[in-house]
Amino acid sequence: MAAIRHIPCVIVNGRYDMKTPPDAAWDLHAAWPEAELRIVEDAGHAGAEPGTLHELITATDGYRHVRL
């Protein structure tokens, strides 16, 4: 984590995701508290689900100004 802790991050996970369950996102967020965690209440695993897609677009739009 020390190598990436400085990188801005938003963790997006669907509440009903059976491939990568939300507890994995919680564990990642616990190890990387600087990252923002967004659990999509009405979504599973697919990135094309409306709630997940919205959160992904919002997250990436929020980083337009970031230069690494």
Neighbours of 9 (CB within 10 A): 16
Confidence band for 66, pLDDT divided at 50, 70 and 90: confident
pLDDT for 51 = 97
pLDDT for 20 = 94
Q: Is the pLDDT of residue 68 over 80?
A: no
pLDDT for 21 = 95
Give the three-state DSSP class for 30.
helix
Cα separation, 45 vs 56, whole angstroms: 13
Bridge-based pairing state of the strands 10-14 and 36-40: parallel
Task: Provide the whole-model pTM.
Answer: 0.88
4-50: per-residue pLDDT in tens?
Answer: 999 999 999 999 999 999 999 999 999 999 999 999 999 999 999 99
Cα separation, 68 vs 62, whole angstroms: 14
Contact 45, 10 (CB under 8 A): no
